[in-house]
Structure 1
């Protein structure tokens, strides 16, 4: 009889993951144990302050009696953090817009749901119109809410989404223009890209808010938020153009020559052959630009728009909540991290799904 053999090494589940990733060799085991010890030593005070000794329930600073974090500051001002100065009786319009946005994004992200082409058309055409009518008002019996009353997380998402949706197609057009064989188109694209990449975003926002009204007729009213959106979209489209141009240069020339041999015109070559491959190659760069854009939305404070971070900072000046700056900044950092990490993880999922080999 064959002697009994030891059980096979577990390669699945938690045990298999630990064995293959952390304790695969004696050296890896020692490094993993040291790293875990350092993490426990460094994170224990943070967990103690943020969770164990924290105060969660209450409406005033008198409820903060412990030695940990006072999350009562966040809960008491949560509606202001989300809606800014939007009228309380009209905040249901923001909720409806946010629900439509989440439903549209979820429909596009879940692979097996049908009619994605129509959902894309709705996302690019229908949703912006509905959001504009709901948020701004002044139509269909809805009271008008000027953009100066917008703020908080609502304003941050508005600036980020408009910037992302506007900068990507404009960046693709600029990248194609910079590679064009027509000297005028190429020159205009180069000048546009180098100009916007050569100035800081703070300067762009300042010019859009202070200088631009000086160059338009006095009877023309140019909304401050609209000026900021246009400036952010142009600024990041220049960076997006260089990311896309890197993907276009990575495509072998034989791809375009083969498309020409099939009799395809320029736009069909780009839309069917070149751009799908180029955009797939530069997904990390595109998402990295989106993340940088999302974080730079906090710069709109310089022109008097109160985004998420600015609303929290304004709350810290309230005499009833002096001394709770740490909790406010930690909450703002957590919100930014959640959105940026979500974009990063979804981009990695898209990369794995489109990784069909070369």
Structure 2
């Protein structure tokens, strides 16, 4: 029996990293693996059913990583020493993962996996200071993309594990489309445009507001729906929407655990992020057959199909506006349905990816 401890540095919510970690718990064959989870910042109550479905053996709520790092380190060490884990799988985006790596190394954990989920981090000073310790304590590296791997591991070897999704959930359905367009009170003429992402600076919501300020002047039929967890920019973005009098054009939707159903109602997806690791949302959008316009700061690996077009943020809002206005709400049902198969064949089926992850654990444990 292999014992694995996973750690998640973010509040368990609707973000991409949380979805991936919960998927590892949900879909991994546990006949010969025990998976426990360390929650560093708690979880959104709306995610309770998702956490339950992940079926972790134990969940340790050490929700003071940011406020009392010494206590966090010592408590994590004690847990690992007592439970004798074979693997620690630390998810993050910077060398601050060295906190978990050092605790695991001192506790005698054989395989210490660092999993990079982004191509940048917010705490660069801490990252640079801890990099030597990080390099000395991890002994296995995984990344969600080449950019994320190069950022954290440099010229050291790493394995790319695609951010997979539950493909079948995103297959296009005309019935669900009709139901949710009605729920959103969309007319036959309305073009539904959507963004999914936390209200944080790197998601670049203000750029979207600027773009739709221009679009409204040319065509009031375009409606923008913003899904995402509350963050540091939410209040200012909502104020900006009101200030620009865009309440009828832009709608704040909060979080939704059935986002796959809302996608059925959409006609176009946008992601003008300043940076990302590998945004799993764009995989979900393509599986649903939705055209996507994303910033060119995002890895080109996200272009799994011909549905993705990358534009520069630096070129300004007018180019984005013009590209958006090329899209309508006409649906070729068979074409849209076909994309979930293309995404699956490209290696983004979470069930297959989790199986590969388990094989990776077994192989690397044999090497150590």
Q: TM-score, normalised by structure 1?
A: 0.22
Give the number of the structure whose residues are more often helix, by fraction. 1
Larger Cα-atom Rg = 1
